[in-house]
Amino acid sequence: MNKIKPLLTVDNLSKNYGSTQACNDISFTLYSGQVLGIVGESGSGKSTLLKAIAGFLSIEQGKINYLNRQEKWLDFQQISESHRRQLMRTEWGFVQQNPRDGLRMNITAGANIGERLMDIGVRNYGKIRQEIAYWLEQVEIDCRWMDELPTTFSGGMQQRLQIARVLVTQPRLILMDEPTGGLDVSVQARLLDLLRSLVRTLNLSVILVTHDIGVVRLLAHRLFVMKNGKIVEYGLTDQVLDDPQHPYTQQLVSATLIP
């Protein structure tokens, strides 16, 4: 039986905004093929943490280490900005809460996916179109939409297109910031089913930030709860949600049970 390998380690990460500690001494390990959920109310520091891991924000202290495709550990404080950007185009992906922030709205759906392939050196037009069609199908978008602008898409379709754009380079790690936020309940349910299927079939590792307990219960293997920039509870998802120990976690879980 193969041992599950660590893919990402975060040690003692802190991020301040003036005198406010948005993230305070955060440490965790993400394993290959694992979905790690991060929950907490608005202002708890969860989105700041995700953006710090992605390199979108600088940090005051801490270490972020990643095991790349060549099974070499990379220290994110030591690699260059260009190397970090290359990782975000190839081995990592970031799914924004608002898909308009993760798409180029003035080019076609197909071009949004195709330019990611061109970023990694694919130049054959036929191959690019074939890959675009495949990934549109994977996210349940009919290929006839390939040459349409994302502005003509519904919010749910835009989010699925953003996911296809991220997945086309077959990244190993996906960072998701409230991927179902702003969608109505029926669209949200379809997107969650799609994400669960893709995580399983592609063996993706995911860090998922959300305020929605239902989302992490469906998708996450493990989760931690943040409050005021700190982790207050951590463990297996079902264990944490069915038997919460910290008063704040108890409050979050009970709030979701109120009709």
Q: What residues have CB less than 8 Å from 160, skipping those under 6 apart?
A: 139, 140, 141, 191, 194
pLDDT of residue 241: 95
Number of domain units in the chain: 2
Residue 141 lies in a domain: yes
Residue with tokens 């799914």: 95
Domain boundary among 171, 204, 224: 171
pLDDT of residue 83: 93
Other beta carbons within 10 angstroms of residue 144's beta carbon come to: 8
Domain boundary among 130, 147, 171: 171
Whether residue 208 sits in one domain with residue 131: no
Domain boundary among 171, 188, 221: 171
pLDDT of residue 258: 43
How far is the C-alpha of 244 from the C-alpha of 209, rounded, in Å? 19
Q: What is the pLDDT along the chain (259 residues), one digit of tens a residue?
A: 456 889 999 999 999 988 889 999 999 999 999 999 999 998 899 999 999 999 999 998 999 999 999 999 999 889 999 999 999 989 999 999 999 999 999 999 999 999 999 988 889 989 999 999 999 999 999 999 999 999 999 999 999 999 999 999 999 999 999 998 878 888 888 888 989 998 899 889 999 999 889 899 999 999 999 999 999 999 999 999 999 999 999 999 988 754 3
Whether residue 199 sits in one domain with residue 161: no
Whether residue 115 sits in one domain with residue 161: yes
Q: In 79-181, at which residue ranges do the beta strands (DSSP E only) sit? A: 92-95, 173-177
Single pTM value for the model: 0.93
- Domain of residue 123 covers 97-171
Whether residue 258 sits in one domain with residue 178: yes
Whether residue 127 sits in one domain with residue 144: yes
Residues 65, 55, 174, 223, CA torsion sign: positive
pLDDT of residue 257: 56
